[in-house]
Amino acid sequence: GYHRFLFFLLRRRSSYLSSGINAEFGKQWYQRRVRGIRVGRSIDGFGLSPGITKEQRLGVEKLFSSASKKFEGELAGTYYPLTGMEEKVRQQLVDDHFLFVSGDPNLKVAGMERDWPEGRGIFHNDKKTFLVWVNEEDQLRIISMEKGGDVLGVFKRLASGIKAVGDSVMAECGKGFMLDEKYGYVHSCPTNLGTGMRASVHIDLPGWTKEGVDKLKARCEELALQPRGTRGESGGQTGHTYDISNKHRLGYSEIQLVQTMIDGVNKLYDEDVALQKKHGL
């Protein structure tokens, strides 16, 4: 089924990806924009965040911290636990926009911030293009990101990273990721069932903002996209810069979802240019 697509992808990564994604963005806007692709993963035998015990959460952290030392090449890096984090390290992670913090009302009401910050942490590679969040919303949130227009390179690194995490965890404890035959990868939030993948880009849309945010939301719905503010899912919207991502996780392959994001963002940009002229911007 579709949820096994990534296994196929990992076996034939380079050749299939090269022909599988038309990764061209409109050249006028993408050069300085950050884009990232992330997935969530849960390890068999450990509870999901709303019900995980303190001991299990610490177990996930210990397991990943040890497994991450096996990462090689461009994926090699350092794990930074939130507990006991030095101020210098904390500030650098804030400056890099890598640090997740407590206080999200949705996570709090679901019981996901119990025993904060114990058992939480952040891994990133030396180039700061591959990250893993440990015990935030999901046990593991695997992220590939960089500035510029190389979405294909971001996707390839994500595929390599998922495989590295899975292989290292398996070698460490003999357990794989939670995977359901029908619903795909299991996450803490049901909206992430399936691929659990979100591919996003930050883009300025002053024309659409002037036209109306509600109209932008409706247009994104037509394009199977989801607009957010750049402060995240619960952070609200400021200015005319938006975080645009694929809406669906379930029922589509990873390649289909990335292509949906690329094609939709290009359409939004072209429409925004016309709307700027309409409103005299």
Distance separating alpha carbons of residues 98 and 50, to the nearest angstrom: 23
Q: Which amino acid is at 137?
A: E
Q: What residues have CB less than 8 Å from 86, skipping those under 6 apart? A: none
Asked if residue 72 lies in contact with residue 165, where contact means CB atoms within 8 angstroms, the answer is: no
Distance separating alpha carbons of residues 16 and 177, to the nearest angstrom: 23
Distance separating alpha carbons of residues 92 and 35, to the nearest angstrom: 20
In whole angstroms, how far apart are CA 218 and each of 125, 213, 259, 275?
Answer: 38, 9, 20, 15
Name the residues annotated as catalytic.
38, 137, 141, 189, 191, 198, 228, 233
- Strand-pairing partners, residue 244, are 201, 227
- CA 226 to the chain's CA centroid: 14
